[in-house]
Structure 1
Amino acid sequence: MSAKQYIWKDRKRILGMPISFTKYSLTQDRLFCEVGLLSTKYDEVLLYRIRDIGLSRSFGQKLLGVGTIILQSSDKSTPVLELKNIKRAYEVKELLHQQVEEMKLARRVRVGEYMGEHSPIDDIDKDEDIEA
Structure 2
Amino acid sequence: MKDVQMDIIWRERKRNIFGMPLSFTVYSLTEERLFIETGLFNSVENEVRLYRILDVQLRRSFMQKIFGIGTIAINSSDKSLGDFVLKNVKKPKVVKELISKNVEIQRELKRVVNREIISGNDVSVDIDGDGIPD
Q: Give the TM-score taking structure 1 as reference length.
A: 0.89
Structure 2 runs not aligned, ≥5 long: none
* Superposition deviation, residue 120 in structure 1: 6.1
Aligned to 1:103: 106
1:81-113 alpha-carbon deviations (Å, 9 max, x no partner)? 100000000000000000000000000111111
1:41-81 alpha-carbon deviations (Å, 9 max, x no partner)? 21100000000000000011011100000000011111111
**What letter is aligned with 1:55?**
L
Number of paired residues? Answer: 127
**2-structure distance, mates of 1:70, 1:104:** 19
**2-structure distance, mates of 1:90, 1:33:** 19
**What letter is aligned with 1:5?**
D
Q: Could you say which structure has the higher strand fraction?
A: 2
Aligned to 2:90: 87
Matched, 1:12 2:14: yes
**What letter is aligned with 1:122?**
V
**1-structure distance, mates of 2:67, 2:123:** 39
RMSD: 1.6
* Percent of matched pairs sharing the same residue: 47
Check conservation: 1:74, 1:121, Cα contact below 8 A: no
Q: Give the TM-score taking structure 2 as reference length.
A: 0.88
Aligned to 1:70: 73
Query: Matched residue of 1:121: which SS?
Result: strand
